[in-house]
């Protein structure tokens, strides 16, 4: 390593240690905004960047657009200097730039790199020597090195190159550090979640570790961005496969007349070799329904078929259809047809107690119910209105939990803690429960599926 390169890296590390490094967070969604607040709490000068003027304006007014983040937190951060902007020319003022943009799948279940590409193209003209650029967006192994870095190098005005092993004369540092957000998790503090970091070379890894080590209690360095990218995929594929397994066992247990929830509770008493996963109406959120397909897509480049991943995806994707079939069967047993029946769906968020619709199975279930001719309404304390998204167009208003007896079926899809399930069962003609939310309630009106 050249003396100049060491001096630049050590200078940035000193600024991080002194909390004087300017930190820019690109993408102020469910990952980026909490991260920006963590840096602000540690007294870093933090600037948030977003292309959505509504988010920038909301933050400028000291308000929050994420339920689990209170307005007071935004106001406290603003008092410490945090602010948001849509002016990306200010990237040049940052010492560290952290990219937290979406990485969805397209209609063919292939990676949609458009957000990363657009962000990299926006950053590139404003790069300057000595900066650290970190990608947090979940993606396939090789994205940082094969997609992000070439755009940054090609697009900057100064002809800057990333510092690499064997080419320490580069001017800026690049690393990957996967986000590990778990919305709604109140048991593990965000700071207590270890942060994996992998740089293009050792200085980049060390700088990323120093940056995240200032806000997380532990960092875990790996040998490369690709290893860090694969780490994130392994975590989510592990969950996806095990959820698919328990979903499939649920379907079998229903046929056998066995309560899968009772079985899981008994199995998890084993103090070793077993981790409990729970069945549901399908997968939701940005990670688990999406990330496995990133690796399946990349594996084809190596003439490799990821059979477990693809099978798990098939099982989980089929669960909303199972739910609709269960509703139809339950209504049929009461001499009613699904076509024309009034169905109230409880919960449209992808999991309990959060305001996140991404990939929610509720949206698919509502659309399937509509196709079968049902009259569908929904209730969710976190959503007054559900309009149009990447994969849905519902244009529905939240329905109050009143006069439940008017519905032929009340369908529990998301088990929010706010719901009074005993009252719901008592006042409803039929309750179809996909989450075991009515556990401990004995009523002939309940069908668990």
Catalytic residues: 287
Q: Where are the alpha helices (DSSP H) in 381-444?
A: 421-427
Q: Are 348 and 386 in contact (CB under 8 A)?
A: yes
Report d(CA 208, CA 387) in Å as an integer: 39
319, HSE (Cβ side, Cα atoms, 13 Å)? 31
Please name the residues in contact with 225: beta carbons below 8 A apart, sequence gap of 6 or more: 135, 143, 144, 145, 174, 175, 176, 198, 199, 200
CA gap 270, 101 in Å, rounded: 40
The dihedral through the CA atoms of 263, 267, 269, 275 has a sign that is negative
DSSP annotation of 156: -
Task: Kindly list the distances between the CA atom of residue 25 and the CA atoms of 28, 119, 123, 445, in Å, as whole numbers in the listed order.
Answer: 7, 12, 12, 50
Cα of 124 vs its chain's centroid, Å? 26
Do 169 and 2 touch, CB atoms closer than 8 A? Answer: yes
Q: Where are the alpha helices (DSSP H) in 214-306?
A: 225-256, 260-267, 291-299
135: phi > 0 → left, psi -120 to 50 → alpha, else beta; which? beta
CA angle 309, 313, 315 (to 5 degrees): 120
């Amino acid at each position: 390593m050249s003396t100049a390169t060491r001096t630049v890296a050590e200078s940035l590390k000193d600024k991080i240690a002194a909390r004087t490094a300017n930190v820019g967070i690109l993408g102020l969604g469910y990952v980026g905004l909490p991260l920006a607040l963590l840096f602000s709490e540690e007294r870093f000068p933090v600037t948030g960047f977003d292309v959505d003027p509504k988010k920038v304006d909301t933050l400028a007014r000291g308000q929050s657009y994420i339920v689990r983040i209170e307005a007071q937190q935004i106001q406290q951060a603003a008092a410490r200097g945090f602010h948001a902007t849509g002016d990306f020319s200010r990237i040049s003022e940052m010492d560290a730039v952290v990219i937290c943009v979406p990485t969805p799948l397209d209609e063919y279940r292939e990676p949609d790199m458009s957000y990363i590409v657009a962000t990299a193209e926006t950053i590139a003209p404003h790069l300057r020597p000595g900066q650290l650029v970190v990608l947090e967006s979940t993606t396939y192994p090789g994205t940082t090195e094969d997609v992000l870095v070439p755009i940054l190098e090609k697009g900057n005005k100064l002809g800057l190159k990333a510092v690499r092993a064997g080419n320490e004369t580069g001017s800026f540092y690049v690393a990957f550090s996967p986000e590990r957000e778990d919305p709604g998790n109140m048991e593990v503090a965000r700071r207590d979640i270890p942060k994996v970091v992998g740089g293009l070379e050792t200085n980049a890894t060390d700088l990323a570790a120093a940056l995240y080590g200032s806000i997380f209690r532990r960092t875990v360095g790996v040998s490369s961005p690709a290893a860090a990218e694969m780490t994130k995929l392994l975590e989510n594929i592990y969950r996806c496969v095990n959820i698919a397994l328990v979903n499939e066992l649920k379907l079998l247990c229903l046929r056998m007349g066995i309560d899968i929830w009772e079985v899981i509770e008994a199995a998890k008493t084993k103090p070793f070799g077993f981790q409990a996963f729970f069945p549901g109406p399908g997968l939701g959120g940005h990670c688990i329904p999406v990330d496995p397909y990133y690796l399946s897509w990349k594996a084809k480049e190596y003439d490799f078929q990821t059979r477990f991943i693809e099978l798990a995806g098939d099982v989980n994707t089929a669960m909303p259809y199972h739910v609709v079939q269960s509703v139809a069967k339950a209504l049929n047993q009461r001499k009613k047809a699904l076509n024309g029946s009034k169905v109230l769906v409880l919960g449209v968020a992808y999991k309990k107690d959060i305001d996140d619709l991404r990939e929610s199975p509720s949206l698919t279930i509502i659309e399937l119910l509509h196709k079968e001719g049902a009259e569908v309404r929904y209730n969710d304390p976190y959503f007054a209105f559900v309009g149009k998204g990447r994969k849905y167009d519902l244009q529905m208003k939240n329905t109050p939990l009143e006069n439940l007896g008017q519905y032929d079926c009340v369908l529990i899809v998301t088990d929010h803690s706010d719901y009074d399930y005993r009252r719901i069962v008592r006042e409803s003609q039929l309750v179809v429960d996909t989450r075991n939310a009515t556990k401990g309630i004995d009523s002939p009106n309940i069908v668990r599926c």
